[in-house]
Chain A
Amino acid sequence: MTERTGPGGTAGTSKDDKGGAEPTGGEQSSAQRSGPDDEQHAANGGTAPEHGEGELAGLGDQAVEGGTRPAPAGRARRGMFGVRGSGDTSGFSGLRLPAHVPVPAERPFGGWYDDLVDDLVAALDERGTRGAIQQVTIDRGEITLYIAADEILDVCRAMRDDASLRFELCSAVSAVDYGVDVPQRMHVVYHLLSMTYRKRIRLEVALDWDGGETNPHLPSVVEVYPTADWHERETWDMFGIVFDGHPALTRILMPDDWDGHPQRKDYPLGGIPVEYKGAEIPPPDERRAYS
């Protein structure tokens, strides 16, 4: 704003010139300041143990040693309207928002959540499982337990069999891909229902996978919840997550010889040529020119 060359009318031009170098919002924008920090944090793999959240949440032996890992759940966003590559001239494209990270819940959780977590910790201690719970999050009246990938089968068994838990029904198993540039981008999500106590919980497993050629792995829970059979096949089909110990992990929705896993974020929505009876059908946008 220092070099205003002309009076009145030219001020606008000057502002435009500055606009490229200094995004709107400038240094006051807390969102922008926290953006790079967060990315830095994310780049470290999110392993930095700042607080003893495990202690805070009273997880005892079940807390992952060295504090908890913040579970990343989204990518940093740019621009006010989330529009990319469209020549957005609204002037809001400089806005940067940090990735969403679910907040760890603190004791007391309130409601039945404290009892549930205590019961689970006790049940896991009894079964000799350690370091299973990474984080507890309570959001919008739903509790999410972040579970270490290797312990998911033991946790599910405790969930189903322990008399104080009794999560008899596994409602759904699916996955979420949070995006290519997010560390631990693949999360497997289990929704369990206790009909005895009328409670629902969500177990979430953030997989250590960098997006490389090899597929991410975690244990299958089919031997505890037989209903997970098709759910896990669908998750393999759509996300390419391998469930070790599944009786027959084959594709279920896509054809057997399909390449790629469609629900991954780096898999395009369209533009895949399809083979039909030996002929190759080009993708929709290449089939015919309407001009």
Chain B
Amino acid sequence: MTTPETDLYAPERETTEGTVYTVTGGDWDSIVDSEHDDRIVINMGPQHPSTHGVLRLVLELEGETVTQARSVIGYLHTGIEKNCEYRTWTQGVTFVTRADYLAPLFNEAAYVMGVEKLLGVEVPERAQVIRVMLMEINRIGSHLVCLATGGMELGALTGMTAGFREREEVLHLLEYLTGLRMNHAFFRPGGLAQDLPEDWREKIDEFIKIFHERLGDYDKLLTGQPIWKQRLEGVGYLPIDGCLALGATGPILRSAGLAWDQRVVEPYWGYETYDFEVPVETGADCYARYVVRVREIHESLKIIKQAADRLEPGPVMVEDRKIAWPAQLSIGSDGMGNTLEHVRKIMGQSMESLIHHFKLVTEGFQVPAGQVYSCVESPRGELGVHLVSDGGTRPVRVHMREPSFVNLQTMPAMSEGGMVADVIAAVASIDPVMGGVDR
């Protein structure tokens, strides 16, 4: 045990700003009994169950009213953008997928869309439909975590257990379809890493059936519940002009009444051919954002069903042998490596194939010089990727316009002047994912 004198972390001491207290529970008397004015500055996080990850909030309080709020980020900075500059364009997928870890497929989508734009290739129809289907499955999972953690932070623990139970279905399905629960690296420049397993349709149908049964529970559990509504209604208010000034997109912007959704306004990968609605609310508060997310889950289910219905057999990778890895279409029966036939062919018949395969994997393909900005509608808003190529096999610059990062700037506007407890509700409704904020 460390005594206060030897505590390495935050010892009680006098500073130019006033006395610093360390309160760990059961020792509030040390503050209550001390001489001070009503103004207190508290550090909440970066390790706190209600801060949605390693987010640190600095709150200045007058009694229970927040007079100023600031967020401190960077605790999860991993240098993803810098790392991408040292890898091939294909390897970049495995880095960007780790940014917003609740919506990994969207990171991959925005990135590969940019690379494909630089290359000037169009991915096959089947790959586009599978991408759309997987992204919508992922969107459901991401929104469920938002509801679950948001519920937990506001004391609705059943919402947490229910949300994570359903998210587990999402992760099981994604694991079955792509091979990994998270950080899939399934979208590759030019298509997909591999095709779906043979019985994908049964799994999707089962998934849709489960969700039709269970989604009603959220309305029973939360939507109409008086305590839930009282905690959220009129809290974290941010009108439409505030959203635009601060750059907020996604559910925050749609909860304020603007139906701005990249899938509709700048459709990609055939989104214009799917029949779905963009849920919009006008409350501009935490409750409106909650309702938008629940309704988006229903819309995503509609898209998944339509995508499954229209999926035709075909290639999932571009024909261009200078981009597509030879391994794509001939994976061994264990799902790993290459089939025996492919190995026999490249080892026995075609030395050039072997060399080409080796060069393509180790050095990667060259991408024509230029720059592009590509963006998709992630569960949190506009996820953009700015890519710069100098014509080589590695990017000069990969910059991710992360909606979590931008949306988190709205926290002070939503929280200042309100109660401490409402800060928690506001942060939960922003739904920042620190992996995306810090990258």
Contact = CB atoms under 8 A, between A and B. Distances in A.
Interface string B384-395: 101010111110
Interface string B32-50: 0000000000000000000
B372 to A, nearest CB: 6
Nearest to A226: B245
Contacts of A73: 369, 371, 388, 390
A254 B373 CA distance: 25
A261 to B, nearest CB: 11
B399 to A, nearest CB: 4
A46 interface: no
Given A100-B391, A168-B244, A171-B247, A252 B266 contact: no
B419 interface: no
A140 B83 CA distance: 26
Interface stretch (A4-12, A74-82, A110-118, A124-132): A74-82
B214 interface: no
B73 interface: yes
A176 B401 contact: no
Interface string B418-439: 0000000000000000000011
Interface stretch (B74-82, B93-101, B270-278, B285-293): B74-82
B120 A252 contact: no
With a 10 A CB-CB cut-off, give which of A82, A99, A172, A254 has the most chain B CB atoms.
Answer: A172
A14 interface: no
B328 interface: no
A263 B207 CA distance: 43
A176 B390 contact: no
A101 B369 CA distance: 9
Contact of B401 (A172, A195, A198): A172
Contacts of B439: 253
A102 interface: yes
B237 interface: no
Contacts of A102: 370
Interface string B65-90: 00000000110010101110110000
A254 B439 CA distance: 11
A262 B82 contact: yes
Contact of A74 (B73, B79, B375, B396): B396
B215 interface: no
A51 interface: no
Interface residues of B, number: 50
A171 B382 contact: yes
A174 B399 contact: yes
Nearest to B76: A253
A174 B409 CA distance: 16
Given A74-B391, A178-B396, A263-B82, A172 B369 contact: no
A226 B244 CA distance: 9
A82 B370 contact: no
B392 A82 contact: yes
A229 interface: yes
Interface in B389-414: 390-394, 396-397, 399, 401, 405-406, 408-409
Interface in A66-86: 73-75, 77, 81-83
B397 A269 contact: no
Contacts of A174: 386, 399, 401
Contacts of A189: 371, 386, 399
B390 to A, nearest CB: 3
A227 interface: yes
Contacts of A253: 73-74, 77, 438-439
A73 B82 CA distance: 18
Contacts of A269: 79, 82-83, 85-86
A200 B363 contact: no
Interface in A132-185: 139-140, 142, 144, 168-172, 174, 176-179
26 contacts: A74-B369, A77-B391, A77-B392, A81-B359, A82-B366, A82-B393, A100-B391, A140-B120, A142-B371, A142-B373, A168-B244, A171-B373, A172-B401, A174-B399, A179-B396, A191-B386, A191-B401, A200-B373, A226-B409, A227-B247, A227-B409, A231-B406, A251-B74, A253-B438, A263-B81, A277-B8
Interface of A: 73-75, 77, 81-83, 97, 99-100, 102, 139-140, 142, 144, 168-172, 174, 176-179, 189, 191, 195, 198, 200, 202, 225-227, 229-231, 234, 238, 251-255, 262-263, 269, 277
